[in-house]
Each structure stands twice: as C-alpha cells, then as structure tokens.
Amino acid sequence: MGLSARIRTRDGWAVSHAVVTVTDMTGTQVARAEADEEGAVRDATALAPGAYTVIVTAVGYAPAASSAIVTASGRAEIGTVTLARQGGTELPPPGPWTIDPAHSSVGAVAQHLGISSVHGRFTEFAGTIEIAPDEVAKSRVEAVIRAASIDTGNGTRDAHLKSPDFLDVDHHPEITYVSTGLTPATGSDRWTVHGELTMHGVARPVDLALSYLGTGADPWGGTRAAFRATTELRREDFAMNYNQVVQAGIAAIGTTLRVELDIQAVQGETLPQT
C-alpha cells in the first residue's frame, strides 16, 4: 500500500533531496514523503481509491506536478518524475568534481602573419569544480596551468613563448583561473562563467562561454561530466606586448588569443587510477 516514485534529473541522476506531496481533489494534503539517496520515494500511507495530484519539489529545481490514480489496492505507482533545473538550466549533479588532465585539453590559437593560425596547448594543468546543491549560480571552478608546458609543435617557438617576451615562465610559472560567478546563457546547457585569470603576473576578469555536454559512466567505475569553454584574450591586457611587424604593417603574431577548453571532470575529490 502507499506511494512509490523515482525522482531524476534530465540526465538520469537521482535527486536525493526531493519531496513528494500528494493532495486530493479538494487540495487537501494526504501524504508527504522524501526521496532517499537513490532518488526513490516509498511511502506506506494508505490512500483511498480515487484521483490525486502529485507535486514534486526540490531546491534548485522547478516543481513538477502530475495526476495519479490510486487503485483499490491503495497503491499509487507514479513511476519516474524528471525535474528540470530552476530556470531551465542544466549542470551535473551537485558536489565536487576533479578535472582529468589525461582526457582534457587546454588550447590557444593565435593568428600568424595575418593569413594563418598557430595552435598551441598546455600539457600540464589541474583543477576542481564544485556544483552548488541549492543555487547553481554559486558553483565554482578553480584551475592552475604550468606555463612552461606550452607546446606548439616547434621547439624554437616554444622557447620564445616561455621567454620574458611572452609568458616569462621563470618568474611566472603558473597561470591560474578562479571563478567569481555563474550566469545562464541562451540554451538550457549554456552558461557564462565569470572569473579572474592571472597570467604573466597580471590578474584580469575573464568570462568563459561554457557548454555542458552531459554526464556518463566511465570504464573505471566513476562518473564523468564533459564541458567545452571558449574565450578570447588580448595579450596586451597581460603585459605581453612583444611583436614583430613584417611588411605592410602586418604583425607577425596576432594580439588576440582564442582559448579553447575541452574538459572532462570526474565526480569526487580525487581521480581514479587508470
């Protein structure tokens, strides 16, 4: 006898703090139950046969309501109820996530001679993500990059980028990013991450255009979330003013960098042994 239901997010994850309220046709509450850690609701309250309204609520999610029919057995099996993030925005399940450098990339693209692009990447970096359980906008991300790990596929060019003309890795070995806020953008899976980037000893506010690509299980028994983020930086904003002008006044290296991040994060505070 009683009520049973499963409460899930759009990606199929349990909403462990959901509350299910049942009212009769007069609007009177006849039952109330909370989901367990697996998002399951099992309430033994005996209900008289008839029609009822089921309302599911959870902090950070939009309420969901549906009708239910209680049979002569006194049971009401609601099935799976899917909750959407408040405002229609989506992110992974709340809690800590650890960026996996082995399955992520931090890249930058600069224009060369005004006609082509030079692609580079940083091979050593780490970071953490904290998805807030109540107000998603309070979620945080922190990351650190080893400046000397820059790799453009050309040793001479890499040595120049590490020199005082650019990153000056001997005096500024780390590039850091600390978020200061998060706001939804167009689309349920798009966000703007507001934060502060420190590079070459200069700290500047930098926004990231973030896309949440979804979550899934990995072969090592963990859960992973995928993100893609982009932004543009002006070298001058970080006191990297070196340039060589070739004929017709064209700069050898563009003043704007396009940063492209493809991130996999593992649920929890540590990375699995892979």
* Locus of tokens 């990059």: 145
Q: Does the global pTM surpass 0.85?
A: no
Distance CA 81, CA 77 (A): 11
21 membership: H or E segment, kind and range: strand 19-23
Give residue-wise pLDDT tens across range 139-193: 999 999 999 999 999 899 899 889 998 899 999 999 999 999 998 887 667 899 9
162 membership: H or E segment, kind and range: helix 155-162
3-state secondary structure at position 161 = helix
Mean pLDDT of 32-43: 87
Distance CA 40, CA 58 (A): 13
Long-range Cβ pairs for the range 269-272 (8 Å, 24+): 269/96, 269/98, 269/128, 270/98, 271/98, 271/100, 272/218, 272/220, 272/221, 272/222
What is the share, in percent, of the chain residues with pLDDT greater than 90? 40
Band of the pLDDT at 56, cuts 50, 70, 90? very high
Contacts of 100 (CB under 8 A, 6+ apart): 224, 264, 265, 266, 271
The predicted pLDDT at position 98 comes to 97
3-state secondary structure at position 241 = coil
> In the chain, what are the domains?
2-84 (2.60.40.10), 95-267 (2.40.128.110)
